[in-house]
Chain A
Amino acid sequence: MIIASWISGWRRVAQALGMAAGVHALSFLLALPLATLVGDRIAAQLGSSVEAGAVADGVNNDWWSEFTAQATGLSTTFTPSIIGFASTLDTLSRVLDARYPPAALMALLGAYLALWTFLSGGLLDRYARQRPIRAHGFFSAAGRLFFRLARLTAIAGLLYWLLFAYVHPWLFAEALKDVTRTVGVERTTFFWRLFFYAIFGIALITINVAVDYARIRLVVEDRRSALGALRAAVRFLWHHPLHVIGLYALNGATFVLLLALWSVAAPGVYGPGMMMWLVFAAGQLYLFARLALKLHFLASQTALFQAHLAHARYSAAPVQAWPESPAAELIAR
């Protein structure tokens, strides 16, 4: 069941690669104007100086330190942590260490999450139906499901906020500090920290999985109540814990594998010209893989849910009958 769902998830993602390309394009288009702005600030700071040559040909930490000292707003995020795999470690560490994104990016990230909420209706609808629904079908589903998914996102946001605002500080600023306060061995502190990451991670993933299945139930069953969908999702987790956990673990392992590959392949410092574009392309390929993997989480969980439904035909590919829900299509037949 777990492997089948995992494979089915990849099949569903592969059948709708355009959607993966679309969400990738979304991140690209959102990032592009800000990257242009940062580029303008770098260019303005460098001016007509000879320093620019060293900055273009490789890396110049002396200049970087000067730029950072003068940076304001968005430019403050331009630090050496953006280079290669350090970028990945930095962003993951931000989540687990509850380091909030830079203020200059909060609006962008908020917009990104809102767009994801909108798109997730169309994405899940497509993965549940397992057949082409075309752009109008996709956006119609996204629009139709948006407000109920938005309500669910708001509930999820509240849960995440409680987790990060209260549980994380309690775990790391108090409990971990208390446990390790008199520990004079860094390695021991490291393993304690890993243990606390695991506790926090379990809480984080529990919410994440519950919200994911709530989304799936909202879409597949055409539910309107976000709270009802969340309750139903919890019931589903309660009744199928091994399959849910097993699939999530397999997906998590796939994510770790991707990170391991990227840690080897991620380019460090490079020159301008063709190399610059090759490195950029490699970065985009990695980001595409990350997004595809994120979509695979949704698709494989949808497959698992559909496989577990009492009504067998829930899991079958329904006949195209836009704009009805998958459930409505099924009943109509």
Chain B
Amino acid sequence: MRRPILLPILIGVVLIAVDGRLGGQQLAPAAARGGVQAFDEPLPDALSPRNASYDITVRLDPVRKTLQGRETIRWRNISSATTNELQFHLYWNGWRNDDSTWLREERLRTTPGRPRAARRPDETGTSDVTSIKVTPAGGPAADLTSAIRYLAPDDGNAADRTVMAVTLPAAVGAGGSVQIDIEWTGRIPFAASRTGWIGDYYFLGQWFPKIGVLEDTGWNTHQFHAATEFYADFGVYDVQMTVPGAYKVGATGREMRRTDNPDGTTTHSYHADDVIDFGWTTSPSFIEERRAFNHPKLPSVEMRLLLRPEHQGQETRQFAAAAAALEYYGQWFGAYPYDNLTIVDPAYQSNSDGMEYPTIFTGRANWLSPAQAATPDSTVTHEAGHQWWYAVVATNEFENGWMDEGFNTWAVARVLEETRRSNLLAVRTFGGLIPYTLDVPLSREVDGDRMSAYRPDAKADAETTPTFRYWPRSANAITYSKTALWMHTLERQLGWPTMQRVMATYYERWKFRHPRPQDFFAVVNEVSKQDMTWFFDQVVRSSNAFDYAVQELRNEPAGPGRTRVIVAVQRLGEAIFPVDVVTTFADGQQATEHWDGKDRRAVYTYERPARATLVQVDPGEVLLLDVNRTNNSRTTQPRAGEAARKWSLAWMVWLQELMITSGFFA
């Protein structure tokens, strides 16, 4: 009796599997794949699987703003899937025409009614493969140049050329390998987002044809999107960059050789093991500084800073900020696995600030940077922190951007709090060039975790939505801010020692691999010894907002010397979280209730010898995602009048000054 039912199910499962493996473009959402992936286990003698390794030779032409390159990719299929094609990222084509997916999405990031200026010709970026040959193991090379085609797996945009594919003469099965030889030319865009040139400064990211990731379910090669950009396999990189002789170079890995050429150029040869990408920068203006990071419990790291001349004097700050990440991340999560780290101080207006690549990143500095303000420190620490959450634990940023940006935002805020450096609000006036520091301390909870960015977009998207599908204007609020806030909430819920063990276990287990959300959730449950599914249901799988409030605090006579206290608390948001309700009485006593937070309202009644003076929902501020903290308490001795008087007087002086300044025109 069972066979007729099982057979169609079995056939269906096989068809779905075959479609996923051979079609190569049909991707199941990450969350739907389930299970812990095993295809990216490290090689026995290496840190990572090293299945996508590159030998690259590239020449920069600073006059024509082009790259001329040749690369050999040694690719090994570490998935269980068989593939009959190869897919590559050609991301500079994101600026090839106005209809690319990147530019369509970027236009959506601007406020309606404020059209962007038309792109100028030098803002065009291109990546043209002029030759591609594939050599299977033990087989002859096949020239596939004429078979190049472009895919748009995410949105079907025919004008987008950021994903290239070629059909293989013979399928490559699990464990199989091929060598791919590619020649290409790239036109370097002017100060594009995260890459490009300005003046004599070049930051080159997403610059070479990069093979996609073949998973058990097929190729995972997304188009270039405005808010997401990384997912790649680990490999060994040997890259030779030829630039004008006077130019200094910084790049992923370590410089092995430097050869001066007869034509006045210099070739810089870099080598990097176990990295997912390769970024580089070059400029004749850089001032080079080196310092060693030494710590009794952590491996030493050679830190190199390529500083812009106008920022001379900020060396100590930038090194200290990077060292803070090496120290705290190293102690909390796990040691930095490479022996070098390059900090690039990017050119002003280069749009390449705050950008991470393995062992190299760009910070963000201003010519006038008040000592007590967070710039450049927070950006340098943030980008250094990406070495853990992006470069080593290599999540799929296209689909789960929150797993690197959000985790990192949370961790950086923690580092900045730990370093206890002064962090005051600085307002910038006169086109952003003149800073003025106010005596307004910034907090880890609101500013570090970026609450003010999250609050207006709290319901914008659930994090189970693939990140590249987030609404462009609110994508960062979810990716960075919401995640940092719920990670901090989780830290307060579990306690820091447990949270630290969670993150250290997650790092240790998933370093040099590609974890997915369920892998992280599994580590949390395992280490905390709690089933936190309910938590992730609320913060990751839902787009609901949290808002708990005190509805009523009432004191009524209840006989001689007794007071009946009625406390009502409310859940105004749709999201649910257990919160404490603490009532404080005039005699100093407190009553604490643990409310599961599920119902719309909870009412507590007490009969006490003293009146209640204060009631607070979540007084420990565990739930940092609560979008309205002010309504979380009620006191019988309110000071709102005092506060309002003081600040309205300050505002009045501002208004009078505005009027008097306007009087210039009368």
A91-B635 contact, Cβ under 8 Å, with A61-B440, A66-B455, A189-B433: no
Residue B589 is within 8 A (CB to CB) of chain A in the complex: no
The interface-forming segment of B159-167, B404-412, B423-431, B570-578 is B423-431
Q: Which residues of A contact B614 (CB under 8 A)?
A: 50
The interface-forming segment of B125-133, B317-325, B443-451 is B443-451
A268-B438 contact, Cβ under 8 Å, with A62-B445, A91-B661: yes
B632 in complex: contacting residue of A49, A61, A109, CB < 8 Å? A49
Residue A322 is within 8 A (CB to CB) of chain B in the complex: no
B window 602-661: CB within 8 A of A: 614, 616, 627-636, 638-661
Residue B78 is within 8 A (CB to CB) of chain A in the complex: no
Residue B456 is within 8 A (CB to CB) of chain A in the complex: yes
Do residues A56 and B631 form an inter-chain contact, with CB atoms below 8 A? Answer: no
Q: Provide the A21-40 mask, 1 if CB < 8 A to any CB of B, else 0.
A: 00000011011101110111
B window 174-233: CB within 8 A of A: 190, 198-201
* Most chain A CB within a 10 A radius of its CB, from B350, B455, B630: B630
A269-B439 contact, Cβ under 8 Å, with A95-B661, A276-B649: yes
A287 in complex: contacting residue of B349, B553, B656, CB < 8 Å? B656
Nearest chain A residue, comparing its CB with the CB of B628 = A66
Residue B434 is within 8 A (CB to CB) of chain A in the complex: yes
Nearest chain B residue, comparing its CB with the CB of A111 = B659
How near does chain B come to A78, taking the closest CB pair, in angstroms? 6
Residue B436 is within 8 A (CB to CB) of chain A in the complex: yes
Q: Which residues of A contact B447 (CB under 8 A)?
A: 61
Do residues A116 and B638 form an inter-chain contact, with CB atoms below 8 A? Answer: no
Do residues A287 and B657 form an inter-chain contact, with CB atoms below 8 A? Answer: yes
Residue B46 is within 8 A (CB to CB) of chain A in the complex: no
Q: Which residues of A contact B655 (CB under 8 A)?
A: 31, 34-35, 77, 105, 108
Alpha-carbon gap, A39 to B656, bound state (A): 15
Alpha-carbon gap, A284 to B652, bound state (A): 10
Do residues B640 and A95 form an inter-chain contact, with CB atoms below 8 A? Answer: no
Q: Provide the A42-82 mask, 1 if CB < 8 A to any CB of B, else 0.
A: 11111111111101100101111111111000000110111
A residues whose Cβ falls under 8 Å from a Cβ of B: 27-28, 30-32, 34-36, 38-40, 42-53, 55-56, 59, 61-70, 77-78, 80-97, 101, 105, 108-109, 112-113, 116-117, 120, 153, 156-157, 160, 172, 180-187, 189-190, 193, 197, 208, 268-272, 276, 279-280, 283-284, 287, 290-291, 294
Task: List 10 contacting pairs A-B, 8 Å CB cutoff, sorted by A.
Answer: A49-B630, A59-B439, A85-B436, A95-B664, A105-B655, A180-B349, A184-B349, A186-B433, A189-B433, A284-B653
Interface size band for B: 35 or more
How near does chain B come to A21, taking the closest CB pair, in angstroms? 14
Do residues A113 and B666 form an inter-chain contact, with CB atoms below 8 A? Answer: yes
How near does chain A come to B93, taking the closest CB pair, in angstroms? 23
Q: Which residues of A contact B651 (CB under 8 A)?
A: 35, 38-39, 77-78, 82
Alpha-carbon gap, A67 to B630, bound state (A): 9
Q: Which residues of B contact A65 (CB under 8 A)?
A: 446, 451-452, 455
Do residues B648 and A50 form an inter-chain contact, with CB atoms below 8 A? Answer: no
How near does chain B come to A270, taking the closest CB pair, in angstroms? 8
B631 in complex: contacting residue of A34, A49, A283, CB < 8 Å? A49
Residue B371 is within 8 A (CB to CB) of chain A in the complex: no
Do residues B199 and A294 form an inter-chain contact, with CB atoms below 8 A? Answer: no
Q: Which residues of B contact A272 (CB under 8 A)?
A: 642-643, 645-646
Nearest chain A residue, comparing its CB with the CB of B431 = A193
How near does chain A come to B417, taking the closest CB pair, in angstroms? 14
Do residues A189 and B348 form an inter-chain contact, with CB atoms below 8 A? Answer: yes
Alpha-carbon gap, A62 to B448, bound state (A): 11
Nearest chain B residue, comparing its CB with the CB of A42 = B644
Do residues A27 and B644 form an inter-chain contact, with CB atoms below 8 A? Answer: no
The 3 closest A-B pairs by CB, nearest first: A184-B347, A39-B648, A35-B652
Do residues A184 and B640 form an inter-chain contact, with CB atoms below 8 A? Answer: no
Q: Which residues of A contact B308 (CB under 8 A)?
A: 184-185
Do residues B446 and A189 form an inter-chain contact, with CB atoms below 8 A? Answer: no
Do residues B451 and A62 form an inter-chain contact, with CB atoms below 8 A? Answer: yes
Q: Which residues of B contact A92 (CB under 8 A)?
A: 429, 661
A43-B641 contact, Cβ under 8 Å, with A30-B659, A78-B647: yes
How near does chain A come to B65, taking the closest CB pair, in angstroms? 11
A185-B310 contact, Cβ under 8 Å, with A49-B634, A62-B446, A63-B630: yes
Residue B496 is within 8 A (CB to CB) of chain A in the complex: no
Q: Which residues of B contact A32 (CB under 8 A)?
A: 652
Alpha-carbon gap, A155 to B638, bound state (A): 52
Q: Which residues of B contact A276 (CB under 8 A)?
A: 645-646, 649
Alpha-carbon gap, A94 to B661, bound state (A): 10
Nearest chain A residue, comparing its CB with the CB of B435 = A89
Residue B495 is within 8 A (CB to CB) of chain A in the complex: no
Do residues B644 and A90 form an inter-chain contact, with CB atoms below 8 A? Answer: no
A187 in complex: contacting residue of B310, B434, B451, B641, CB < 8 Å? B310
How near does chain A come to B626, taking the closest CB pair, in angstroms? 10
Q: Which residues of B contact A97 (CB under 8 A)?
A: 429-431
B425 in complex: contacting residue of A49, A80, A291, CB < 8 Å? A80
How near does chain A come to B102, taking the closest CB pair, in angstroms? 21
Q: Which residues of B contact A187 (CB under 8 A)?
A: 310, 367
Do residues A46 and B640 form an inter-chain contact, with CB atoms below 8 A? Answer: yes
Do residues A52 and B661 form an inter-chain contact, with CB atoms below 8 A? Answer: no
Alpha-carbon gap, A42 to B642, bound state (A): 10
A52 in complex: contacting residue of B640, B653, B659, B660, CB < 8 Å? B640
Do residues B634 and A48 form an inter-chain contact, with CB atoms below 8 A? Answer: yes
How near does chain B come to A207, taking the closest CB pair, in angstroms? 9
A84 in complex: contacting residue of B438, B640, B656, CB < 8 Å? B438
Nearest chain B residue, comparing its CB with the CB of A67 = B630
Alpha-carbon gap, A290 to B662, bound state (A): 12
Do residues A50 and B455 form an inter-chain contact, with CB atoms below 8 A? Answer: no
Do residues A47 and B349 form an inter-chain contact, with CB atoms below 8 A? Answer: no
Q: Which residues of B contact A95 (CB under 8 A)?
A: 661, 664
How near does chain B come to A33, taking the closest CB pair, in angstroms? 10
Nearest chain A residue, comparing its CB with the CB of B425 = A80
Do residues B349 and A31 form an inter-chain contact, with CB atoms below 8 A? Answer: no
Residue B442 is within 8 A (CB to CB) of chain A in the complex: yes
A183-B348 contact, Cβ under 8 Å, with A27-B659, A47-B638: yes
Do residues A185 and B348 form an inter-chain contact, with CB atoms below 8 A? Answer: yes
Do residues B634 and A105 form an inter-chain contact, with CB atoms below 8 A? Answer: no
Alpha-carbon gap, A32 to B658, bound state (A): 14
Q: Which residues of B contact A113 (CB under 8 A)?
A: 662-663, 665-666
Do residues B630 and A46 form an inter-chain contact, with CB atoms below 8 A? Answer: yes
Alpha-carbon gap, A27 to B640, bound state (A): 26
Alpha-carbon gap, A112 to B631, bound state (A): 38
Do residues A55 and B657 form an inter-chain contact, with CB atoms below 8 A? Answer: no
B660 in complex: contacting residue of A94, A190, A294, CB < 8 Å? A294
Alpha-carbon gap, A241 to B562, bound state (A): 85
Do residues B653 and A287 form an inter-chain contact, with CB atoms below 8 A? Answer: yes
Do residues B635 and A49 form an inter-chain contact, with CB atoms below 8 A? Answer: yes
Nearest chain A residue, comparing its CB with the CB of B200 = A184
Q: Which residues of B contact A46 (CB under 8 A)?
A: 630, 638, 640, 643-644
Nearest chain A residue, comparing its CB with the CB of B201 = A184
Alpha-carbon gap, A50 to B308, bound state (A): 47
Do residues A81 and B427 form an inter-chain contact, with CB atoms below 8 A? Answer: yes
Alpha-carbon gap, A64 to B431, bound state (A): 24
Residue B505 is within 8 A (CB to CB) of chain A in the complex: no
Do residues B665 and A160 form an inter-chain contact, with CB atoms below 8 A? Answer: yes
